[in-house]
Structure 1
């Protein structure tokens, strides 16, 4: 999207020396990739990735040790070893990278580069979710130790609307995708990934000039964005810490999918959760299996707040909140669209007022995968709270108003695979 008056203060994306795995030194490029750190379902997913290849990127983004300091030092040591052994190598020329993901009829392309963090001050990069301080602190410790951006944020912008001429950036992305790629691999989720480098000065200048007129929405990576800003503030001299690794996708050309992020309540059994809702919500059991229950949730969410609870082997549809209860529990100083969000009602009314569940990792897990959330709730005797996704236009409208949604309200995708290109802050 273009914002009037930001032509000289819009997105500033610059080339960088990409740090990439050397194909000959690993089992396969697919085997060393990972989903973003917050999508990996631990411990099963973590163990699976670690066993896929001794050089899987998960050993950097989710190192395993007893304390945070030990984890961070382990990641830093692993990165140094891989560089010394030639497992990772720095590209000789600074580049912007065109990145493509394809699965069936789904195609997404975008540009990976180092984005100037000054865009945060000017309101050019729009967050739409709150963040958890402990997660930012965790990511900051890892980034300090490794002096690297290990995985890109996913940002979206609106290029030219359908029927209008393409922008320079879009034209260059499409032309680049017709060339032989630097790498191509297919991950086990069925996505085919390809990466190209843009090194021609004229093409780089055209892309950066076009993006200099744009405003972007953080689709995925709010905690990493907050981490970038924290670490920039710690480094007073201008330099590499003034930039952060991002993937920019033009959603006028490549619309993203929006999914919900579910809650796993570790210490609240489903029976207790349901009992606390009885006087205030309509609760009814719906038929499974899971896809049928999620379809019922989708139908209910079209007309009002709706949640699907499980953990006891059955699916419970929760709808029709008491309006007086919402008035008492949901803050009044926000737009009505924010007050009606399922995530808002979930956190303010259910978690805080009725269930008294603290928003801490030992009490609440945030899980992207629906089946994994249900399985974990049944295995641990907790409660899975399944949500329906928020529409993208609602997210953008609230972000433009400067209103952040409750943390982990949305999951935009497809998300970039971690491990295809990294950015060293020492290069």
Structure 2
């Protein structure tokens, strides 16, 4: 099924091992403008200049953020800041962290490799959410300019016995390690033993893969592959652009941490009174004052997983509402709170339909329940906040195997591999 290959990683020079924390960043799509500027100032060789380049002023077709990324890449390669590993490898990657919801210590053991790009229809790599066009255009321009992949797509694979990590871990040689701003310890190793690599790649031929994070990039890599093929008279089926760099973790790993992504709504069509009347007709509601935030969140987390339960913060009434929705909860996507939030609340009560979400800026997303409360009750920037319960990683498999897609931002896997630990040429 999955065609996994070792690869010659594009990495920072061994002499920079001690400062790898100053050279790497979180994933590009969670970096604010302020953080982008801070990473630029942190180190002239920080990977931000490659993965999320700042636009020059003025920005023109001849001089733009993507040409800047190419120039910085060429500079880092020619000066020896970046090098290509001489021997193909798979790269074990461990993240040690405290669970934001429970405070418990956890360790995720995965690895970085490259897999052959396959269309969704082949049912080798499964998506679990819909994508938007804007992010794809940005990434496509970056790939065309740099012919490089600076970060990994996050994939899950079935491995109940942890066979793969059991093979890789004893053969791994440490390459880089650092602790990020969230106090997550990131450790990258490399396995070059030919027999081990052959065994792991053979096992993967029997596996299906599930995208945890990186749907936009995966679809963009497919488009980039097709673009590169169009430039060749006889395309090489094993050319680097036929593969995508991925971080792979076992779906059954009990240390996987899937956080909820909450929703924020700027305004209420028809006003709060009409919205609340509509909500009361669709749910059993338990009310909390805004001062009872801790009690409200504890009740949400302790709610029956067999019921469809969401939380709502209402700015106009200074209330927190625990809502048990009266909906026909079922299998697959119909077992998700985010599905019923969309179907029973957002669409009928606020006219925030999936079609409008794809084309209009109607929702804001926030991983922090404290932040949602501050934006609704403190700054009053938003009229409503919707709190979501976390789901398990296994839900992704059950939904995708049914050929269904989750609403956007139904899952947030935490933590994520750092950008810049190991990269690849396309």
TM-score by length of 2: 0.83
1:362-415 per-position Cα deviation (integer Å, ceiling 9, x unaligned): 332333344444445544612432211123333221111111111111112321
Q: Tell me the equivalent position of 1:20.
A: 11
Alignment of 1:357-372 (within 5 A): 357=352, 358-359=356-357, 360=359, 362-372=361-371
Residue 213 (structure 1) shift:
1.5
8 Å Cα contact 1:107/1:254 also seen in 2: no
Partner of 1:75: 69
- Residue 144 of structure 2 is aligned to residue 144 of structure 1: yes
Secondary structure at the counterpart of residue 123 of structure 2: coil
Contact 1:155–1:248 under 8 Å retained in 2: yes
Counterpart in the other structure of 1:174? 169
Q: Give the secondary-structure state (helix, strand or coil) at the position aligned to 1:29.
A: helix
| Residue segments in structure 1 that go unaligned for 5+ positions in a row | 1-9, 328-334
* 1:38 aligned partner: 29
Aligned to 1:399: 400
1:22-421 equivalences in 2 (<5 Å): 22=13, 24=15, 28-40=19-31, 42-65=32-55, 70-103=64-97, 105-118=105-118, 120-161=120-161, 167=163, 169-177=164-172, 179=173, 181-236=174-229, 237-238=235-236, 239-253=239-253, 255-265=255-265, 267-268=266-267, 272=271, 275-281=274-280, 282=283, 284-286=287-289, 288=291, 290-300=293-303, 302=305, 303-309=307-313, 314-321=318-325, 336-357=331-352, 358-359=356-357, 360=359, 362-376=361-375, 378-379=378-379, 381-382=381-382, 383-421=384-422
RMSD (CA atoms): 3.1
In structure 2, the residue corresponding to 1:34 is in which secondary structure? coil
Compute the displacement of 1:273 (Å): 5.3
* Range that drifts further, 239-248 or 347-356: 347-356
1:280–1:310 distance in 2 versus 1, CA, 3 Å: closer
Q: Measure, in 1, the Cα distance between the counterparts of 2:82 and 2:60.
A: 24
Q: Is the 8 A contact 1:280 1:322 kept in 2?
A: no
Cα distance in 1 between the residues matched to 2:322 and 2:60: 39
Change (3 A) 1:305 1:398: same
Q: Measure how far apart 1:116 and its partner are.
A: 0.5
- Normalised to the residue count of structure 1, the TM-score between the two structures is 0.82
Q: Residue 23 of structure 1 contacts residue 29 of structure 1 at CA under 8 Å; is this kept in 2?
A: no
Q: Find the aligned partners of 1:339 and 1:262 in 2 and give their Cα distance.
A: 18
Query: 3-state DSSP class of the match of 2:118?
Result: helix
Gaps in structure 2 of 5+ consecutive residues: 99-104, 230-234
- Runs of 4 or more above 6 Å deviation: 66-69
